[in-house]
Structure 1
Amino acid sequence: MHRLAAALLAALLLPGAQARDKMSWLMPDVPPASMPVDGKPTSGIADQIVLYITAQWPEAEHHFIYANPKRTWLMIERGEQACVVAALRNAERDKLSYFVNTNLVPPLQLVVQEGTVARLPLNAHGEADLQKVLSDPALRGIVVERRSYGAAMDELLANRPAGSRLETTSVGEYGRNVLKLVMHGRADYTLDYDYALQYASKSEPDIGKLHTVPIAQNNKPMLGGIACPRNAWGMAAVKRIEQIVGTPEGAAAMIKAQNSWHTPASLQRYAAQISEFQRQRAKPAPH
């Protein structure tokens, strides 16, 4: 190992290192992933994760940088000494960074009123066929203009039939306004994540009465985690973070952070996968 890389590794891994480590955390700028107060993390998913890790890493001086995705991933690509919290993991990001898996994120859901569930084309697993939903002239949908719902969903939305009653809106406010339209019956369905529904229901309790239905074409939970630049500093940081979260206590803290923002229905639906993720997370992953 190059001498500089070895020195960085020692500084990050050894609690007794004399020079105080500096650790910068790139935080998402949207709730409920992160909800800063006076520039400090609070009770969001990423907030809880980073607060647990920093509490177990007292020998370092921790800094929080709130940034949009474009700035965040540009910093990672440049190899800057900072790690992203609560980043969704995919093949493209794996090329830019080393990852520590911290979350199992339930996939995008169809969000409807309770009375709409019976009108949906469901398979034997209770999953909605989105292609059929988009083709049904009796079902009115609404999504946020230019928002990405993931590659598979974006393709289905883009290739919807000409007669589809799916509308787009530019007024999102983290999806809350779109959820309100479904709540008031202005639309039959929208697409969103479970945690977005939970967040919106904090200020609009009636939104909490909406139901989430899994989508057949998008039914696999996603991995979320901490991403550090793909260089010697990033590898050292990842090893230190793995030491902290790769324990039964660390795994429990990661699960608690994500579960605090998911609906009971979603937690029940993905209970087996979440349990298996926690079992594997309870030990450090090899890097």
Structure 2
Amino acid sequence: MNVNAVGFSVGGALTVEAETGFDAKNRVRENQEKGITEEERLSITWAINPAPPFFIFEGKYRAQGICDALVKQLKPIMSDVKHETVVMPQSRVNLHTEENENLCFPCVIQREHNTTWRFSNATTLYPPLGIIALPKTIEPFLDENGRVSLKALVKSNKLTFAQPISRKYPDALQVLVDSLKQTPRYAPIAGTEATTRVLRQLEYGRVDFTLEYPSILKYFTLTEGDSKLQFYYTSELGEEKIPGAVGCTNNAWGKEAIDRINAALDEVVNSPVYRASQEFWQN
């Protein structure tokens, strides 16, 4: 099969997907009909990393993650755009955007545009972060609404908190997590699929609790089998859902990329295939 580009390293990132010759010929013909030359054609580089269930690289649910589905639906709708997908760790994604390199990451929390990132319209609604732990750990801290205060867990001075090293939290929670970082009760977890590795550590009793999305616990139980771990809403965040978005480098290129993405999103988010994917992971 004729492939324009595949399987080479770019600044520590692996290119994993490019157009086939057949796709390229069809796309060129479509663009010619629209009066778009190759020189005028927008190119979007999509950064992804192994973080199930957002991006799933292997196993039964390979390429069926929450954000896999988004990119898969956007590409055919945005047929006048050249798409390239690269795998890179989150730290490198942040570095490239901070250095003003043209890049989009399809799996971020929607915020106001800032000097680094420009955000799309909402792509989905995520349940808020919550505590994942064994019930016996959390029961003494539950309030009358079945929620647990992260502040109370931190101040107990008894429990060890585990965090995937690239995970960032809302300010109200981040300040509490930061207060643990110079203590023996903080356990950072690095490496591939750190989110699921944290849950294994919880099951083994090596750490006591973490902050995560409920969809991560769902993926864990689907792939690892029944688990005694439970998800608990926090007193700090409650149950209000959070809009997801695509984030692109905030420059002239990123503005055009986000404008094109926004133009396609209505069709994507109303697609039965996309809606089924979101409902599967989010409910």
TM-score by length of 1: 0.69
CA offsets per residue over residues 111-167 of structure 1, 9 Å max, x none?
122444532232x43321122223336x6333137554413323113336x9x9945
Instruction: Give secondary structure in 1 for the equivalent of 2:281.
Output: coil
Select the structure that is richer in helix.
Answer: 1
- What is the CA RMSD across the aligned residues, in angstroms? 3.4
CA offsets per residue over residues 45-89 of structure 1, 9 Å max, x none?
221101001121223332112222333234334544432211233
- Within the alignment, does 1:144 sit opposite 2:193 as a pair? no
Distance 1:134-1:75 versus aligned 2 partners, 3 A rule: closer
Q: Which runs of 5+ in 2 are unaligned?
A: 1-30
- Within the alignment, does 1:135 sit opposite 2:144 as a pair? no
- Within the alignment, does 1:16 sit opposite 2:34 as a pair? yes
| 8 A Cα contact 1:142 1:178, kept in partner | no
* Equivalent position of 2:234 in the other structure: 215
Distance 1:181-1:71 versus aligned 2 partners, 3 A rule: closer
Residue number among 38, 60, 72 corresponding to 2:93 in the alignment: 72
- Within the alignment, does 1:246 sit opposite 2:263 as a pair? no
Instruction: Give secondary structure in 2 for the equivalent of 1:175.
Output: helix
Distance 1:176-1:18 versus aligned 2 partners, 3 A rule: closer
Distance 1:18-1:98 versus aligned 2 partners, 3 A rule: same
* Equivalent position of 2:3 in the other structure: none
Distance 1:168-1:50 versus aligned 2 partners, 3 A rule: same
Distance in 1 between residues matched to 2:100 and 2:32, nearest whole Å: 22
Distance 1:75-1:17 versus aligned 2 partners, 3 A rule: farther
| 8 A Cα contact 1:141 1:189, kept in partner | yes
* Equivalent position of 2:20 in the other structure: none
Residue number among 198, 202, 211 corresponding to 2:218 in the alignment: 198
Instruction: Give secondary structure in 1 for the equivalent of 2:194.
Output: coil
CA offsets per residue over residues 163-219 of structure 1, 9 Å max, x none?
x99452546751323322332445443322223222322331133x42100111133
* Equivalent position of 1:175 in the other structure: 195
Letter in 1 for 2:262: E
| 8 A Cα contact 2:107 2:245, kept in partner | yes
Distance in 2 between residues matched to 1:147 and 1:98, nearest whole Å: 20
Distance in 2 between residues matched to 1:169 and 1:81, nearest whole Å: 30
| 8 A Cα contact 1:25 1:85, kept in partner | no
Residue number among 158, 169, 177 corresponding to 1:157 in the alignment: 177
Residue 99 (structure 1) shift = 1.4
Distance in 2 between residues matched to 1:236 and 1:170, nearest whole Å: 37
Letter in 2 for 1:141: T
| 8 A Cα contact 1:130 1:216, kept in partner | yes
Distance in 1 between residues matched to 2:252 and 2:32, nearest whole Å: 16
Instruction: Give secondary structure in 1 for the equivalent of 2:226.
Output: helix
TM-score by length of 2: 0.69
Residue number among 210, 224, 228 corresponding to 2:248 in the alignment: 228
* Equivalent position of 1:86 in the other structure: 107
Letter in 2 for 1:261: W
* Equivalent position of 1:105 in the other structure: 126
Distance in 2 between residues matched to 1:76 and 1:188, nearest whole Å: 34
Q: How many residues are treated as equivalent by the alignment?
A: 242
Correspondence list, 1:259-274, <5 A: 259-262=279-282, 267=283
Distance 1:14-1:259 versus aligned 2 partners, 3 A rule: farther
Distance 1:77-1:191 versus aligned 2 partners, 3 A rule: closer
